Amino acid sequence: MVDGRLNNSWCRDPPRNSTLFAPLALPRRMTLADDTQAAVDEAAAAIAAGEAVVYPTETVYGMAADATDADAVDRVFEIKGRPYDKPISVAFADIETARQYTEPTDRELAFMTEFLPGPVTVVVDRKPALPDVLTDGRPRVGVRIPDNEVALALCRAAGPITATSANRSGEPSVREPGALPASVRDAVGAIVDTGRAPGTESTVVDVTAGEIIRRGAGVEAIERWLAEG
């Protein structure tokens, strides 16, 4: 692992993207090491320039772009080959920031307080600052607050970012950057590599409907919470 230095071994000539290495397993609320912060800053700069980047989460590797920029979100759909009628969720640094862009009900907010940060996506009403392309014009969007210090640092540095897996649509999720499809690797502006991700998908929940849309990490506790409410 080459901490904090650019590695262009995966890039064609001239290099299109940068692979940015960062240390593993940072405890929550710890200050990021200098080399990790440098990797996050590089990725945030790519996002600010309208690019997509690959980043680690507590589930699988994700693909991040500026979730408030319709063109950047459109680029994520293009890179993934994802149909537009399959919405893309948004990752935030914390609940307070999420509420600037969404309008959760009291019950949804209680759920978010209980389970976030964590491997859970909560579907809530969105505000106009989040573009229609994220949800194919639907009024609701998935909210994600990852339980991963590097992902949270990227959210803090770049603002709301797309929260979708870094794979081609219909293909398996990516647990380590070496498994990225070549088309994804060549299309993104940076890759933040912290090693192998756990691999369990997040659970997607519509709290208002009392519905688990996708079963994933922590689903038993979520089912109990929904039943008790």
Q: What is the pTM of this model?
A: 0.86
Q: Quick check: 144 pLDDT over 50?
A: yes
- For 123, the domain range is 6-200
Residue 60 covered by a domain: yes
Give the residue with greater pLDDT, 31 vs 133: 133
What token pair was written down for 63?
A: 């693909």
Share of the chain above pLDDT 90, in %: 82
Phi-psi region of 118 (alpha: psi -120 to 50; beta: other; left: phi over 0): left
* Alpha helix ranges (H) inside 32-146: 34-48, 70-80, 95-101, 106-115
Task: Tell me the pLDDT band of 13, cut-offs 50, 70 and 90.
Answer: very low
Number of structural domains (the chain) is 1
Residue 217 covered by a domain: no
Residue 137 covered by a domain: yes
- When pLDDT is averaged across residues 60-73 and rounded to a whole number, the result is 98
Residue 96 covered by a domain: yes
Give the residue with greater pLDDT, 146 vs 16: 146
Q: Under a CB-based contact definition with an 8 Å cutoff, are residues 79 and 63 in contact?
A: yes
pLDDT (0 to 100) of residue 36: 85
- Model confidence over 19-61: pLDDT tens digits? 665 544 433 334 466 788 899 999 999 999 999 999 999 999 9
Q: Which amino acid is at 186?
A: D
Residue 218 covered by a domain: no
Q: Quick check: 11 pLDDT over 80?
A: no
Q: Quick check: 2 pLDDT over 80?
A: no
Mean pLDDT of all residues belonging to the chain: 88
pLDDT (0 to 100) of residue 8: 32
Q: Under a CB-based contact definition with an 8 Å cutoff, are residues 141 and 126 in contact?
A: yes
pLDDT (0 to 100) of residue 95: 98
Residue 162 covered by a domain: yes
Residue 15 covered by a domain: yes
pLDDT (0 to 100) of residue 35: 84
Q: Quick check: 127 pLDDT over 50?
A: yes
Q: Quick check: 123 pLDDT over 60?
A: yes
Q: Under a CB-based contact definition with an 8 Å cutoff, are residues 90 and 160 in contact?
A: yes
pLDDT (0 to 100) of residue 229: 73
pLDDT (0 to 100) of residue 22: 54
Q: Quick check: 115 pLDDT over 60?
A: yes
Residue 126 covered by a domain: yes
Phi-psi region of 92 (alpha: psi -120 to 50; beta: other; left: phi over 0): beta
The CATH number covering residue 142 comes to: 3.90.870.10
- When pLDDT is averaged across residues 54-82 and rounded to a whole number, the result is 98
Q: Quick check: 63 pLDDT over 80?
A: yes
- Model confidence over 80-90: pLDDT tens digits? 999 999 999 99
